[in-house]
Amino acid sequence: MIAAASKLILILITAILWVASMPPFDMGECAYILFVPLLIWLKMKPTYRAVIWVGLGSSFLSWISILVFLRHVTYIGTFLLAFFLSLYFIIWLCYTRWLLPKISQKHFVFRFLGFTAIAGLWVILEWLRSFLLYGMPMGPLALSQWQRPVLLQIGAWTGAYGISFFLIFFNCCLAQTLYRLVAYRREKVTHRWFSPDFYMGIFSLMALPMIYFQSLPGSFEKEETIFNFALVQPNVEPLIEWNAVDIAERFAVLEAQVERIALMDFDLLLLPEGVTPNAILGDYTTLQATEAMVNRTGRPFLMGSQASDAYAGYLHNGVFLVEPELGLNPNYYAKQKLVPFGEFVPYPFHGLVERFAAIQGAFSPGSTPSLFNIKLNNKPIKLGALICYEDCFPQLARKSVSAGADILFVATNDAWYGEEGAAYYHAAHSVLRAVENRRPVIRSGNAGWSGWIDPYGKIRDLLVNDANSIYFRGGGVMELKSYPEFKAKMSFYTKHGDWFVFLSGVWVTLGFGAHWLSKTELSKTEESIC
């Protein structure tokens, strides 16, 4: 009974820390101690059966709480997603259970290799989440630091994976330190208070601010205005099916908001995902009405809509450029990562689709970044687009910047998930993409989050109403700024991609080697010193 109660407490502590560290709660400091209780418990060599149950309980409870907003679309899908994400955690916990007790009492060198192996496996599993089970990289551990730019800058070299690696490594160092203090509490030994693991963890923590200061521009005064842009949140109810009356009402809401914002001074209007009820490319009435609205405004629109061709057999969720007099640009961006059970039915669930989610349509995926070349404020600009949860995929943003994008634009519609924490949770991923690629990211949401993030991951402007809420109908104008040194210059991560994942694989392999080498007895002198 006591053992069961202790496991339950362990599950609850882990889940509380995990959820608290993530947006919208934003208690990022919890991530530094998130797995310390679990790691100390693993040093006591619990059975693998107990490890699996504790891992499943803590991770499932955490993911259900973090992704609770998905219930507005599908209850069963939310539970299934939380379960599948928990499997990755169980794999990591079982590997840690195997390695950690074997290196805890060994020389610091072996512990260091073991800690890097444990952190490295976490990185590999986060990376695999981008591809396996239809791809769901949402919610990496690095997300807990999204409002702490000082700690994010390593992402420009390693991607967000490096931030997750650091957090796991720091947890290992802290857990080892606390374990030693408890293990030697009855012994009068001086080395109990000397822990190289603790100093290694503190050194790694201090290195992150050093990277931040090294990354800062030579002069903040060199920041220049790129252009002014307007954002409009129609805040219309997301519907799966609607009639002619609903379509007319939705478009009327959009026109009214655009007419208000047109009275202000800006160079480009950015509109959210699927802002027109019907396809702008494929429905002539929608195209004609949109082009007329653009001509009245006298400024180009970059907007989310659809491209439909019944004869060719495709339907794209896309971003489109519409310019005054020129009309709709034939080149558009088609969403590459479709939402499973939302925008397409993956194999082999075709017969069970209604039980998983409400399908919006049988969309076809795009395959290229498809940049938009626009002249704004007398400057040629290349914008790369991402739609919906595509900003959760680091590979997509990197591909767009590698193709030449100066700015990333995310068109989304989080109104599906109510006015809880979904919009903040989603927007946090854009912060990671901004730092990784050293590019500003502009986001336009149907009901929020709308604003922009600078290349250092700092939120520079956010669309809110008088009540300081992001959830409202309206718009605003913002000034996009950047530093000349980032123009046409790619970050190390953009150039070299997921090299840190490969390095993590090397560390995991060295973890097996550390276990084998640690079998060799070291001298008592070395043991007492370390």
Could you read off the pLDDT of 165-178 as tens digits, one per residue?
A: 999 999 999 999 88
Within this chain, do residues 185 and 231 fall inside the same structural domain, yes or no?
no
* Strand partners of residue 453: 441, 459
Within this chain, do residues 205 and 269 fall inside the same structural domain, yes or no?
no
Range picked from 68-82, 228-242, 380-394 for highest mean pLDDT: 380-394
pLDDT tens profile 110-163: 888 899 999 999 999 999 998 886 678 999 999 999 999 989 999 999 999 999
pLDDT tens profile 271-324: 999 999 899 999 999 999 999 999 999 999 999 999 998 777 788 999 999 999
As a whole number, mean pLDDT of residues 224-232 equals 94
CATH number of the domain enclosing 335: 3.60.110.10
Q: Choose between 89 and 239: higher pLDDT.
A: 89
The answer to the question of residue 23 being in a domain is no
The answer to the question of residue 316 being in a domain is yes
| Per-residue confidence band for 523, with pLDDT thresholds at 50, 70 and 90 | very low
Question: CB count, 10 Å around CB of 461?
Answer: 18
Within this chain, do residues 315 and 167 fall inside the same structural domain, yes or no?
no
The answer to the question of residue 404 being in a domain is yes
Mean pLDDT of the chain: 88
The answer to the question of residue 493 being in a domain is no
Q: Choose between 371 and 363: higher pLDDT.
A: 371
Instruction: Check: CB of residue 423 under 8 Å from CB of residue 447.
Output: yes
Within this chain, do residues 260 and 154 fall inside the same structural domain, yes or no?
no
Residues 6+ away with beta carbon under 8 Å from 70: 77, 78, 81, 417
Within this chain, do residues 52 and 142 fall inside the same structural domain, yes or no?
yes
Within this chain, do residues 286 and 201 fall inside the same structural domain, yes or no?
no
Within this chain, do residues 196 and 284 fall inside the same structural domain, yes or no?
no
As a whole number, mean pLDDT of residues 240-262 equals 85
CA distance readout (Å), 109 to 39, 123, 198, 469: 19, 21, 14, 51
| Per-residue confidence band for 512, with pLDDT thresholds at 50, 70 and 90 | confident
The answer to the question of residue 487 being in a domain is no
Evaluated on CA atoms 152, 153, 154, 159, the torsion sign reads: positive
Residues 6+ away with beta carbon under 8 Å from 12: 61
- Rounded to whole angstroms, the Cα distance separating 441 from 434 reads 6
- What is the residue range of 471's domain? 224-237+244-482
- Rounded to whole angstroms, the Cα distance separating 406 from 383 reads 6
Within this chain, do residues 138 and 259 fall inside the same structural domain, yes or no?
no
CA atoms within 13 A on the CB side of 251: 22
Give CA 272 to chain center in angstroms.
19
Q: Domain total for the chain?
A: 2
- Rounded to whole angstroms, the Cα distance separating 405 from 382 reads 5
The answer to the question of residue 25 being in a domain is no
The answer to the question of residue 522 being in a domain is yes
Q: What is the predicted pLDDT for the residue at 521? A: 43
Q: What is the predicted pLDDT for the residue at 184? A: 65
- The answer, as to whether pTM is greater than 0.75, is yes
The answer to the question of residue 87 being in a domain is yes
pLDDT tens profile 467-511: 999 999 999 999 999 877 777 689 999 999 999 999 999 999 888
As a whole number, mean pLDDT of residues 6-16 equals 93
Q: What is the predicted pLDDT for the residue at 530? A: 43
Which of the residue ranges 5-19, 57-71, 238-252, 270-284 would you say has the lowest mean pLDDT?
Answer: 238-252
Which of the residue ranges 84-98, 100-114, 339-353 would you say has the lowest mean pLDDT?
Answer: 339-353
Q: What is the predicted pLDDT for the residue at 524? A: 41
Helices and strands, number each (H, E), in the chain: 17, 13
Within this chain, do residues 191 and 338 fall inside the same structural domain, yes or no?
no
Q: Choose between 519 and 165: higher pLDDT.
A: 165
